[in-house]
Structure 1
């Protein structure tokens, strides 16, 4: 049986999780320190930057956990053309 390796950093779930996490951190920081009261009043006093940022961080954690628990296995060497 051929040896198999994991896709690792090239797994699309890792890339998506990383990007969502990055955007989530940016929105969370914006929501905590850089959202003025006038912007909050536009959405009935809710801090949407903070809420969406936390949601994105949670979803990013799900993607990265999924990639770690169920890695994609690829052949160590490519099969010869037929």
Structure 2
């Protein structure tokens, strides 16, 4: 029984790790903003003084999100230990 509880707690810790949430959101928003930057109109580029700001910020967000997900992959969270004395 304790082994099942340990697996359940470990899976919950991995699922709700803040690096996964932040990395996933940055990747999704980075893809969206990058696509907007690729298809910017000349008026939008002129408004930003010739800089394709959506493209550059989208790529930066994508890189940051991938960094968070890589960090999670290389350094996974350690499962919390359940004390046998606390179980009743």
If the length of structure 1 is used for normalisation, what is the TM-score?
0.81
Give me the whole-angstrom Cα distance separating, in 1, the residues matched to 2:53 and 2:19.
Answer: 25
| Higher RCO (Cα < 8 Å, 6 or more apart) | 1
Which one has a bigger Cα radius of gyration? Answer: 2
More strand per residue: 1
Query: Tell me, which stretches of 5 or more residues in structure 1 are unaligned?
Result: none
Query: Tell me, which stretches of 5 or more residues in structure 2 are unaligned?
Result: none
Deviation at 1:9, TM superposition (A): 2.4
More helix per residue: 2
Aligned residues: 79
Aligned CA RMSD, in angstroms, stands at 2.4
- In the alignment, what sits opposite 1:38? 43
- In the alignment, what sits opposite 2:78? 73
If the length of structure 2 is used for normalisation, what is the TM-score?
0.76
User: Are positions 1:11 and 2:22 aligned together?
Assistant: no
